[in-house]
């Protein structure tokens, strides 16, 4: 049924617009890819893990706005009220991004300081070992074990942030016009926007991650997590500033 809806000229035009807007709003918003690339570099995430975390957060990002848009359409809620709710969600998501980034940066600086003070990890910590995302063994109690733990909670923190984050153009520019065509048109437009947004996010993140991997500055490497946190917080501040 969905492909048949796309055959409608008006629906096809809306879907094409959804793809263009989805790609454009993602590329123009560094908060859609910089946090993932920075955390992936600091946490040594594999390409598969990076793509998976990015895709999951992207889907959550779109799903929140789709649900609100569907509720608004079904209830006949005025579009200005929906836009007001989306603006509020945007503010909450931006400050969450600042908070997560700041906490991550503080943890990163403390971890770097600990590594510098400790110098080395005792050799008699036992045979039980953790592994980082690259499969390298990590000694329990070492700074690297903390990094392995951070690689577990950091993706969930980003997911929660992006779940709150609205897709500003989706509802007023796409879902409401599609609702005047048919329910299937709304589904088609939402799907087109989601695919374009998530795909663009994954491609941008993997490209940026590859670029980060080429640049290695020895004296800065130990501050990888702290710098990643600062990058995440900076993206949140840019959103707060309306940039």
pLDDT at res. 116: 65
**Confidence category of residue 2, pLDDT binned at 50, 70, 90:** low
Query: How far is C-alpha 114 from the chain's CA centre?
Result: 29
pLDDT higher than 50, residue 99: yes
Q: Supply the mean pLDDT for the chain.
A: 78
- Quick count: other Cβ atoms within 10 Å of Cβ 93? 22
Q: What is the pLDDT of residues 39-97, one digit of tens each?
A: 888 888 899 999 999 999 999 989 888 888 888 777 776 677 777 777 788 888 889 88
For the chain, what's the residue count?
243
Portion of the chain with pLDDT greater than 70, in percent: 77
pLDDT higher than 90, residue 143: no
**Confidence category of residue 145, pLDDT binned at 50, 70, 90:** very low
d(CA 165, CA 161): 6
pLDDT at res. 55: 95
pLDDT higher than 60, residue 137: no
Query: Would you say 167 and 62 are in contact if contact means Cβ atoms under 8 Å apart?
Result: yes
Which residue would you say has higher pLDDT here, 151 or 159? 159
Portion of the chain with pLDDT greater than 90, in percent: 23
Query: How far is C-alpha 155 from the chain's CA centre?
Result: 9
Query: Would you say 232 and 97 are in contact if contact means Cβ atoms under 8 Å apart?
Result: yes
pTM of the model: 0.76
pLDDT at res. 168: 75
d(CA 65, CA 59): 10
130-131 and 137-138 beta bridge pairing: antiparallel
pLDDT at res. 57: 92
């Amino acid at each position: 049924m969905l492909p048949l809806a796309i055959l409608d000229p008006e629906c096809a035009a809306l879907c094409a617009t959804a793809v263009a807007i989805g790609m454009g709003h993602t590329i123009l918003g560094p908060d859609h890819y910089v946090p993932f690339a920075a955390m992936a570099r600091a946490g040594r995430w594999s390409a598969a893990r990076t793509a998976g975390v990015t895709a999951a957060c992207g889907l959550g990002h779109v799903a929140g706005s789709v649900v609100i848009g569907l509720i608004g359409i079904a209830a006949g809620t005025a579009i200005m009220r929906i836009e007001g709710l989306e603006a509020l969600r945007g503010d909450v998501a931006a400050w969450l991004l600042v908070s997560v980034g700041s906490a991550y940066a503080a943890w990163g600086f403390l971890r770097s300081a600990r590594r510098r003070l400790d110098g080395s990890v005792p050799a008699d910590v036992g045979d039980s070992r953790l592994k980082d995302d690259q499969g390298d063994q990590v000694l329990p109690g070492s700074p690297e074990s903390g990094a392995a733990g951070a690689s577990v909670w950091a993706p969930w923190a980003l997911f929660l942030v992006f779940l709150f984050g609205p897709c500003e153009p989706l509802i007023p520019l796409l879902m409401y016009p599609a609702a005047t065509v048919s329910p299937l048109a709304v589904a088609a437009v939402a799907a087109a926007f989601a695919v374009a947004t998530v795909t663009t996010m994954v491609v941008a993140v993997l490209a940026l991650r590859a670029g980060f991997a080429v640049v290695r500055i020895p004296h800065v490497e130990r501050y990888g997590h702290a710098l990643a946190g600062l990058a995440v917080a900076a993206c949140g501040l840019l959103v707060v500033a309306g940039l």
